[in-house]
Structure 1
């Protein structure tokens, strides 16, 4: 007799609790006899019994307590894995941003694995070339700028009395000298901190790159899995809206990188023409800050204009005018042509989303705020508003 099948005579499994005897007690032997009668070829383990009463106070309380416990455990897990989740989100958005390029190559009859490889190699090559060209002068100019900052303040104070007044009131030069002339132990600690920060940044970049490669190579399966989570009757509309969201997010991320690159190059040319010091550092700063909508470009313009004041007041005024014109060109020429008008988000929503994203995830949250806001606006416009309008008319 199979040990996995209960004995036909008394319902006691022959492979469990041997030797079997009546000493196990009458309640158990009676239950085993009933089990033998309940076991049939169609239902070897018996028919399922009646469900518990879901309305019973015990089950209601148990369900509520379990829900609270699961929610608390989930929140704690998210907080504990915050950095890893941030890298996953960044990698997913990068994969979505590079997906238009991959799909473009696939439409040209290139296998997807080859298209992903080409896009990744191109992205890595551009990034490595950017670092090789920019980092050495960026480090040298940044170090020189930091050490000469007190001299620039003193020079500006001599040329412009209002700056001298502000310096005498707030002791800006003394504060800069004190921060740069820190004690050697603090300096050594700062060097170690910088080393740890660089190592952490390199590690995070490598992890994000690997995750991005996995997301890109398996994007079709990820997309299908996301749509499988929707009920069957809602799945077609979810596919239409989801693909539109993916297209908008991809266009925004890829287009925003291109626009920031153009902005940085134009800024570098302008600063070199007018002889503004540390042009490369300022141009890279403008390109990075321009990734953050509204707030980033404004802050970059103020910083560059302040540095251009070391040349002359007319150059500073011209630089401010240049950044205003650059902002207009970016908003009304570059963004519509490169990203498209469909991705644009109202200014109020942009500011709010950037503030909330920065408060939640820092710089990463500010960078991802606009595509997330565009996706949410599309979902609200296509699902929430029609439902509310239909309910209101009825």
Structure 2
């Protein structure tokens, strides 16, 4: 008698662990074969939508261009104020390391800065005004001596310079539009001076606010970066701002040393208007690379009034100092600031001066250093990993 086989109580059928079956996609002959064709078909399907969005994009671009064009002065003031704040920030940080609270450090730095400005206005401004007046008074005599010189007389005989000048002056004063342009130019100069004073006030106020709120501005800016990269962004930003601040302080030291040396040499050799020319040298020394050369030619041109021997001696002494400054003074002062190759520095200064004038030339080198640092630490580091 055969035994009837029955399944074990509670037994379940074995589960088969097979790979899932991938459903085969049915290709629609009418569907586009690529993303480009899909976009093209969508464009033809919704032409009004794409036309409207394109018009909105063009309108936004034109609005931004209009805003940038009409707020150019404000943007320059903001950049200048930020540049000054970054230059004063290392001094405030140095005071913070000496257990001085940041608000008190800002007050001390501003008090010292205002004290220097007050001393400058109290001592140098009257002398500069006096020497400027003397320069204006003596200029006609110098011009007359030049006109009576044998060199100019020979030049006039050959090329009729005086007749040409008199003819052009007569034509100018006969032109009513040109004469009216003189008065318009005078009004324009007055408006420019008023705008300059207003801009100086705005820059000083913005510099104070930037200096006081620089840490909070940095923290807020760092939070715009992704959390995974925030620490790296903070390190790079701190290095850039520290380099810019050290560059500003270093450039101030270089300008002061340059002007002091020029004043001493001019005082020794009795170059006229030494205080005024030293002030001009200090201003021009802030312009990297070419400022010292321009200052040298200005002082040499004025020193010619005291004799060509004085001009030659001053030129030798000052150009020797420029070489000493280039190889010994600037590298020691700027060693903690920025390091930019010579070719990059020249190109950046020319480009910055062409775009933003003197301010562009001033900020060109630290900007180039910041770009080089970002390329080195971000792009090149990423390329090395690949």
Both proteins in one fold, TM over 0.5: yes
Q: Which residue among 312, 317, 332 is the counterpart of 2:327?
A: 332
The 1:273/1:167 distance shift into structure 2, 3 A limit, reads farther
- How far did residue 246 of structure 1 move? 0.5
**1:273 aligned to 2:263?**
no
The 1:203/1:272 distance shift into structure 2, 3 A limit, reads same
**1:93 aligned to 2:83?**
yes
**1:77 aligned to 2:67?**
yes
**1:115 aligned to 2:105?**
yes
**1:365 aligned to 2:360?**
yes
Q: Distance in 1 between matches of 2:215 and 2:361?
A: 28
The 1:270/1:389 distance shift into structure 2, 3 A limit, reads same
Relative contact order, higher structure (CA 8 A, sep 6+): 2
Q: Distance in 2 between matches of 1:377 and 1:157?
A: 53
The 1:154/1:384 distance shift into structure 2, 3 A limit, reads farther
- How far did residue 356 of structure 1 move? 1.7
SS of residue matched to 2:99: coil
- How far did residue 191 of structure 1 move? 6.0
- How far did residue 186 of structure 1 move? 8.3
For 1:224-235, what aligned pairs fall within 5 Å after superposition? 224-235=219-230
Q: Distance in 2 between matches of 1:273 and 1:190?
A: 41
Q: Which residue among 338, 345, 369 is the counterpart of 1:350?
A: 345
The TM-score with structure 1 as length reference comes to 0.75
The 1:382/1:126 distance shift into structure 2, 3 A limit, reads same
Match of 2:132 in 1: 142
Match of 1:133 in 2: 123
Match of 2:215 in 1: 220
Aligned length: 332
Deviations 1:120-169 (A, max 9, x none): 1211221222122222221222232133223224445777x657666875
The 1:190/1:75 distance shift into structure 2, 3 A limit, reads closer
CA contact (8 A) 1:335 1:341 kept: no
The 1:280/1:223 distance shift into structure 2, 3 A limit, reads same
CA contact (8 A) 1:290 1:296 kept: yes
CA contact (8 A) 1:249 1:371 kept: yes
Residue segments in structure 1 that go unaligned for 5+ positions in a row: 1-53
Deviations 1:16-58 (A, max 9, x none): xxxxxxxxxxxxxxxxxxxxxxxxxxxxxxxxxxxxxx96434
SS of residue matched to 2:319: helix
Identify which range, 222-231 or 191-200, moves more after superposition: 191-200
Q: Distance in 1 between matches of 2:51 and 2:123?
A: 64
CA contact (8 A) 2:246 2:336 kept: no
For 1:23-34, what aligned pairs fall within 5 Å after superposition? none
**1:211 aligned to 2:211?**
no
**1:303 aligned to 2:298?**
yes
- How far did residue 374 of structure 1 move? 1.6
Match of 1:316 in 2: 311
The 1:69/1:186 distance shift into structure 2, 3 A limit, reads closer
Q: Distance in 2 between matches of 1:286 and 1:227?
A: 40
The 1:240/1:122 distance shift into structure 2, 3 A limit, reads same
The TM-score with structure 2 as length reference comes to 0.77
Q: Distance in 2 between matches of 1:352 and 1:194?
A: 32
Q: Distance in 1 between matches of 2:339 and 2:117?
A: 27
CA contact (8 A) 1:96 1:246 kept: yes
Q: Distance in 2 between matches of 1:305 and 1:163?
A: 21
CA contact (8 A) 1:268 1:283 kept: yes
CA contact (8 A) 1:156 1:164 kept: no
- How far did residue 171 of structure 1 move? 5.5
SS of residue matched to 1:110: coil
